[in-house]
Amino acid sequence: MTNRLALFDCDGTLVDSQHNICMAMDQAFEAVKLAPPARHRTLSVVGLSLPEAMAVLLPEAEADFHLHIAAQYKLVFQAMRGQGVVHEPLFAGIAELVERLDCAGWMLGVATGKSDRGLNLCLTHHGLIERFVTLQTADRHPSKPHPSMIEQAMADAGAVPETTAMIGDTSFDMKMAVNAGARALGVGWGYHPPEDLIAAGAQSVAVDADELYRHIGGHD
């Protein structure tokens, strides 16, 4: 029997981390003597791996500089964690949704632009890490929308594209799902507008966790 896999993005889907991301981006740009991008531009690249995000924000810069400012971002974020100012609250209903899906027999996973360390700290803080059978991050894969993260997650969970749902808040998540042949399910509480998710291939966009449960097809 092939397992059913519900694969979640993290930032903007499971947790609201926009304040941290924007603060770190501002400080990373300031560290290299550049004016920080507008908040909406920073949020538009959430979900991409850091070098790819920097390439979108600084299209005229060289690839080496994209890597340099990505490294600055990581340093800033590590400092923020050390100072205890990183705050990544779960969105309303997410803890309950994860429990319901787990109890209904779904395999659960995460596919995120976060680092391994960042994802583990986040999920451990919220007491959710044991619920997930596969954790895929930017440390070990090409950036979204490449399907690599979904492909590895399916292999880990014993799932196939037809039994896999990718759940996310950005067009990158939806395109990744399409590229992997999985279902693309959007959430309306994240960082890209619903119309962008639909345009990128989302089959639906949930307004809250209860509606998302129905879209996934969970059954208590």
Do 25 and 73 touch, CB atoms closer than 8 A?
yes
> Quick check: 188 and 220 in contact, CB under 8 A?
no
Are 16 and 176 a contacting pair, CB within 8 Å? no
Taking the C-alpha atoms of residue 209 and residue 220, their distance in angstroms, rounded to an integer, is 15
Q: What are the backbone dihedrals phi and psi of residue 162, each rounded to the nearest 5 degrees, phi first?
A: -70, -20
For residues 170 and 46, the answer to whether their CB atoms sit within 8 Å is: yes
Nearest alpha carbon to residue 121 among 154, 173, 80? 80
Residue positions annotated with a catalytic role: 9, 11
Two structure tokens written together for 42: 């920073």
CA dist., res. 158 & res. 156, Å (int)? 6
78-92 as b/e: b if 16+ CB within 10 A: eebeeeeebebebbe
